[in-house]
Amino acid sequence: MLEFGIRIPRYWRGKPFRYRLEGFRCEECGEFHFSPRLVCRKCGGKRLRRDKLSERGRLICYTVVKSASPSFEAYTPYIVGLIQTEDGTMIVGQLTDCDPEELHEGMDVEATIRRLQTDGESRLIAYGYKFRPAIQRP
Ligand SMILES: [Zn+2]
């Protein structure tokens, strides 16, 4: 049994999303979906195309997680924030490379690739995006 429940085939299938913030955008209303869909959940449109979110955005709010599910217990405390990307999509993600005291609502953040967790049995290290205070200017 995998300690953290990482399923390798599922992990690989999810790489475009975790590494590139990739998903599917409705061509009717612009709604962004992280997982493949046949129908837009917002407008019912059926034309969805693969798209990539902007890697830059604004921190809307955040919280420090001190008590987590078993798969993330070893990583507490950690910061989770609600980010609005430059294209207006709202996304929840971990914040890294900062202390909570450095954060404030409305600050610029950018996506970066970091280790998310390590599977106990397979030792598979799962990487994915997190957000950090913006340091790169376009
Ligand atoms: Zn739509």
Predicted pLDDT of residue 1: 33
Can you tell me the mean pLDDT for 116-134? 77
CA 89 – ligand 1 centroid, Å? 13
What are the beta bridge partners of residue 128?
114
- 6-15, 64-73, 102-111, 117-126: segment of lowest average pLDDT: 6-15
CA 20 – ligand 1 centroid, Å? 22
Each residue of 63-83: b (16+ CB within 10 Å) or e?
Answer: eeeeeeeebbeeeeebbbbbb
- Residue 49, classified by CB atoms within 10 Å of its CB into exposed (0-12), middle (13-18) or buried (19+), is exposed
* pTM across the whole model: 0.74
- Mean pLDDT (the chain) is 84
Predicted pLDDT of residue 10: 61
CA 85 – ligand 1 centroid, Å? 18
Residue-wise pLDDT for 21-70, tens only, equals 888 999 999 999 888 889 999 999 999 999 988 999 999 999 999 998 88
Residue-wise pLDDT for 83-95, tens only, equals 999 988 899 999 9
Predicted pLDDT of residue 58: 97
Predicted pLDDT of residue 11: 59
CATH numbers and ranges of domains, the chain: 8-12+54-133 (2.40.50)
Predicted pLDDT of residue 82: 96
